Amino acid sequence: MLFNSLSFLLSFFVFYLFYYYSSFRIRKLLLLFFGIYFYSRWGIGATFLLFGSIIFNYTIAIWMDKCSFGKRKQIFVLGIITNVLYLGVFKYFLFLWGMFSDVSVELGGQPFTWKLNLLLPIGISFYTFHNISYLIEVYDEKIKVCKNFLTFTLYDLFFPLLLLGPIERPGNLIPQFESNRTITKEQIWNGFFLFCFGVFIKSSIADPLSRYVEMNVNSFQTIEPGILWIIAPTIAFQVYADFFGYSLCAMGLAESMGFELMNNFKRPFFSSNPSEFWSKWHISLSTWLRDYVYIKLGGNRHGFIRENINLMLVWFLTGIWHGAGYGFIIWGVYLGICLVGYRFLKYVGFTKFQHLIFSSLGIFFTFITFSLGLLLFRITSPTDVYLIVENLMSFPKFEQIPYGLLLIIAPLLIFDLWQEWKDTNRPSFFHNQNPLQVTFIFVLGYIWFSLVSPFAKEDFFYFQF
């Protein structure tokens, strides 16, 4: 059930009528039931697995809270290892099994014929990271253990962020479920506008760009020379519009119910270097990896070389988190090298120039390196890397450039320019204006691009992760 589907709109409308006029206690139960209904539409088996994860982590945290330090650490390690194994079995078992089968054939043996029929539960990467961060913060005594099972269940089952995040921190989200929050008219309208604009950029920008990419890149062996210089930036805007659109929908739905989720994107394509870019792109994941992996490994406290080894390990894990495949691993290593390279230039003083020309060049090269990296998501074997490099040795002809794509991405660029000019920390609409002045335009745009759009609806890009 997609956010930009009629079935979700009707379901949420009925839910919201009951939610808005209910007491605090009833609202929590309504959130629980709607979360179960929403997630179960993606599979009953996945729903049981999610509840198994919820019960396990709730129990581990309670148990850990009651024990002395020595026992507490053992329980904590058990909880972390179990979560990692839970994610690993469902996400990486089939890839590793196939890889070992290929190795067996290369060594003269037989391929593995037995296969385990595993389906990847949607959202497993996000809610598993949710639970790991909860256990870490309870263990480090940054938050108190949540003893209310309903509240903890909502932490994992809150439907706006259940499928694709953002990966919220327990210290931010759990207290919001425990407080009786008054829903203001401003929150309702701003949530409505955020949701509508999220659906708009998903349906009218991400989906058409996705079709252009699929029509032009069936295989790296058959594409025209130089076409990847066009395809790579197109994929970058497709992924941005897709994931940013979902994040806006999630923020809008949450805000209309009185909750505040963290902002997952902050105009990343205006970044002048890789470090700045990753502080503005998928912020919930990058800060999660920084706080729970990079800093735990030592961060930058043990010298320049150790700092960059830690950084490469983090980006290797980032690639693995995104998916099981050669492309994801190579992508993570590639981005790690880009960041280490930038840090080396900064270390030797090359990045001290502050002129507008250098900043503009930095924005261009940061965007290009990120765009080219996204091509690695599509490779099926290490040999595809050679085909990508070979294609990039040529440049496209002028007649190959689809200038119409600029019209498609224009609304997103205009919105980001507007937000950059306002220098906002969170996307916002019309907080100090009469909402009725713009409601009609938003409703028309939403109806056209979501319900009667000539483009068929597609899954969100990050569903595969």
For the ranges 185-189, 303-307, 366-370, 451-455, the maximum mean pLDDT occurs at 366-370
Quote the pLDDT of residue 200: 85
Per-residue confidence (pLDDT) for residue 454, from 0 to 100: 47
Task: Give the Cα separation of 85 and 298 in Å (integer).
Answer: 24
Q: Is the pLDDT of residue 185 over 60?
A: yes
Please report where in the chains the tokens 């043996």 appear, as a residue: 109
Nearest to 249 by CA among 369, 350, 166: 166
* Lowest mean per-residue pLDDT among 89-98, 276-285, 300-309, 373-382: 89-98
| Nearest-10 crossing angle of helices 69-106, 124-139 | 150
Same domain, 56 and 196: no
Whether residues 320 and 229 share a domain: the answer is yes
Sorted by sequence, the CB contacts under 8 Å of residue 430 that are 6+ apart come out as: 189, 190, 193, 437, 438
Distance from C-alpha of 242 to C-alpha of 331, rounded to nearest angstrom? 19
Do residues 461 and 297 make contact, with C-beta atoms less than 8 angstroms apart?
no
The answer on 198 and 159 residing in a single domain is no
Tell me how many degrees the CA angle 166-13-266 measures, rounded to the nearest 5: 25
Q: Report H helices in 41-123.
A: 44-66, 69-106
Are the beta carbons of 154 and 31 closer than 8 angstroms? yes
Q: Is 43 left (phi over 0), alpha (psi -120 to 50) or beta?
A: left
Give the domain range for residue 133. Answer: 6-181
List pLDDT tens digits, range 316-343: 998 888 877 778 888 999 999 999 998 8
296 and 417: one domain?
yes
DSSP readout, 309-339? HHHHHHHHHHHHHH-SSHHHHHHHHHHHHHH
Helix (H/G/I), strand (E/B), else coil: 353? coil
In this predicted structure, what is the pLDDT of residue 455? 47
- Give CA 300 to chain center in angstroms: 26
Is pLDDT of 263 > 50?
Answer: yes
Domain-terminating residue out of 162, 181, 200? 181
Report how far residue 292's alpha carbon sits from residue 302's, in angstroms, rounded to the nearest whole number. 17
Let me know: does 360 contact 216? Beta carbons within 8 Å: no
Q: Is residue 91 part of a domain?
A: yes
Q: How confident is the model at residue 64 (pLDDT cuts 50, 70, 90)?
A: very high
Domain identity same for 231 and 312:
yes
Q: Do 174 and 262 sit in the same domain of this protein?
A: no
Q: Do 223 and 348 fall into the same domain?
A: yes
Would the pLDDT of 360 be above 90?
A: no
pTM of structure: 0.87
Q: Out of 3-7, 94-98, 299-303, which region has the weakest mean confidence (pLDDT)?
A: 94-98
* Residue 76 pLDDT level (bands cut at 50, 70, 90): very high
Distance CA 105, CA 155 (A): 46
Tokens representing 170 are 């327990």
394 touches 223 (CB < 8 A) = no
Tens digit of each residue's pLDDT (9 = 90 or more) over 8-32 = 889 999 999 999 999 999 999 999 9
| pLDDT at residue 400, rounded to an integer | 74
Place of tokens 């949701």: 195
Q: What is the pLDDT of residue 2?
A: 77
Read off the pLDDT of each residue in 346-358 and give the average, rounded to a whole number: 71
Would you say 139 and 64 are in contact if contact means Cβ atoms under 8 Å apart? yes
* Chosen domain end from 181, 215, 240: 181
Ramachandran angles phi, psi of 325, nearest 5°: 170, 160
Distances (CA, A) of 427 to 213, 263, 412, 431, 460: 28, 8, 12, 11, 20
Which pLDDT tens digit goes with each residue over 398-457? 777 787 888 888 888 888 887 777 766 666 655 555 555 555 555 555 555 554 454 445
Instruction: Give the residue from 166, 181, 196 where a domain finishes.
Output: 181
Q: How many domains would you assign to the chain?
A: 2
Active-site pick, 282, 322, 355, 431: 322
Query: What distance in Å separates the CA atoms of residue 364 and residue 378, rounded to the nearest whole number?
Result: 23
Query: Distance between CA atoms of 319 and 324, rounded to whole angstroms?
Result: 9
Q: State yes or no: is 322 an active-site residue.
A: yes
- Non-local (6+) Cβ contacts of 20 within 8 A are 183
Look at residue 1 and tell me if it is in a domain: no
